[in-house]
């Protein structure tokens, strides 16, 4: 049973509509292009398939105890969303981020400032809009009895210097894996604990006070440097560092996942329904990356509409 003092748990989403011409003009002006075929700036990072609508339907269906939902965005709002609903709060980048680094198109940088959301509860969940609840879950799935978050990890890992070996062999590690490995090495250097397993790619739990300390004190140097990256770059501090930090100071509990816990659906590769039926995951995400084309994307919305057909109270 979770600590009785944890009565407020909020959920934070990042959301962007990459089809918005105003947003596209802004991004082109600051980065030279809207998107490309790279891992770091492909269209899948910005395209909108209404995933947020269905993710919020999954919240209502499987996690109705969520107190409030915050949607962090850049002067945008979903056209289907009832922004006046008492449980919904839009949060503009300007409310939580330094003006000197705006506009920002780098989700990793935006994530540094989540703890500044006005009114955010001490215990909160964070999700991208392509992440979904798929089973009835209680708060103790995300927070242990002592109130500390459960940090979900995949058993895939690189040794402490695995990425260096790759580089010496003339091979470049993908940006995400490189950044996660760098985050773990950073925690190892500061706290003497190395976590070789990578985080699951799904809904995560945090304590706001520890998140704030990680940003403002523990990793302040890396945050200061990385926050000037308008799009993702090698060397940017990855949020994985905050989870590893929580584990290192015993303010978090590691749990190793199976596909029954957290499933990643690859849009370019997987049959969504078959995978869901096979593994019956508690959480799943739909991965859109540089390998995905528009033909692949056509299956996303029909699948989500079939899986979550009931409108949520947050829709007009």
**Half-sphere exposure of 241 toward its Cβ, with a 13 Å CA cutoff?**
30
How confident is the model over 297-312, as pLDDT tens digits?
788 899 999 999 999 9
DSSP state of 238: P
Sheet of 69-73, strand order: 88-92, 69-73, 9-14, 123-128, 204-207
Residue 165 neighbours by CB under 8 Å, 6+ apart:
159
Rounded to whole angstroms, the Cα distance separating 307 from 54 reads 9
Higher-confidence residue of 149 and 182: namely 149
DSSP state of 185: H
Higher-confidence residue of 264 and 44: namely 264
30, pLDDT greater than 60: yes
- For the chain, which domains are there? 9-307 (3.90.550.10)
Q: Choose the weakest-confidence range: 159-168, 172-181, 232-241.
A: 159-168
**Where does 113-160 have alpha helices with state H?**
none
pLDDT above 70 coverage of the chain, percent: 85
Residue 125 neighbours by CB under 8 Å, 6+ apart:
9, 10, 11, 12, 66, 142, 203, 204, 205, 206
pLDDT at residue number 36: 54
242 and 183 in contact (C-beta within 8 Å)? no
Among the listed residues 73, 69, 112, the one whose alpha carbon sits nearest the alpha carbon of residue 91: 73
How confident is the model over 103-137, as pLDDT tens digits?
999 999 999 999 999 999 999 999 999 999 999 99
Q: Cα dihedral angle (182, 188, 191, 196), rounded to 10 degrees?
A: 100
Rounded to whole angstroms, the Cα distance separating 159 from 9 reads 35
Write out the two tokens for 142. 């995300």
pLDDT at residue number 211: 98
Higher-confidence residue of 234 and 56: namely 56
180 and 199 in contact (C-beta within 8 Å)? yes
Instruction: Name all contacts of 74-77 with Cβ < 8 Å and 24+ positions apart.
Output: 74/16, 74/23, 74/26, 74/103, 74/104, 75/22, 75/23, 76/15, 76/16, 76/17, 76/20, 76/23
* DSSP characters over 56-86: HHHHHHH-TT---EEEEESS---TTB-TTST
Work out the pLDDT band at 40, boundaries 50, 70, 90: very low
């Amino acid at each position: 049973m979770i600590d009785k003092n944890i009565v407020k748990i909020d959920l934070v989403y990042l959301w962007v509509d990459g089809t918005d011409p105003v947003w596209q003009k802004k991004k082109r002006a600051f980065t030279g292009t809207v998107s490309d075929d790279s891992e770091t700036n492909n269209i899948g990072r910005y395209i909108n398939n209404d995933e947020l609508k269905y993710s919020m339907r999954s919240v209502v269906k499987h996690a109705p105890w969520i107190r409030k939902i915050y949607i962090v965005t850049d002067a945008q709002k979903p056209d289907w969303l009832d922004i006046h609903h008492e449980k919904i709060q839009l949060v503009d980048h300007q409310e939580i981020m330094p003006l000197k680094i705006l506009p920002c198109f780098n989700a990793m940088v935006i994530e540094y400032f989540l703890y500044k959301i006005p009114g955010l509860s001490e215990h909160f969940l964070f999700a991208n809009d392509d992440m979904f609840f798929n089973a009835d879950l209680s708060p103790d799935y995300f927070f242990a009895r002592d109130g500390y978050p459960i940090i979900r990890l995949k058993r895939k890992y690189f040794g402490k210097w695995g990425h260096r070996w790759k580089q010496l062999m003339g091979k470049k590690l993908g940006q995400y894996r490189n950044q996660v490995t760098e985050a773990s090495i950073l925690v190892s250097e500061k706290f003497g604990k190395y976590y070789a397993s990578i985080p699951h790619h799904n809904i995560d739990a945090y304590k706001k006070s520890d998140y704030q300390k990680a940003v403002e004190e523990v990793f302040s140097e890396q945050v200061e440097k990385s926050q000037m990256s308008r799009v993702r770059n090698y060397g940017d501090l990855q949020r994985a560092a905050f989870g590893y930090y929580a584990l290192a100071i015993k303010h978090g509990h590691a749990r190793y996942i199976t596909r029954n816990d957290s499933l990643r659906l690859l849009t370019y590769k997987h049959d969504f329904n078959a995978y869901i039926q096979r593994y019956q995951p508690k959480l799943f995400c739909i991965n859109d990356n540089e390998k995905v084309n528009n033909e692949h994307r056509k299956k996303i919305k029909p699948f989500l509409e079939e899986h979550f057909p009931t409108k949520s109270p947050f829709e007009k």
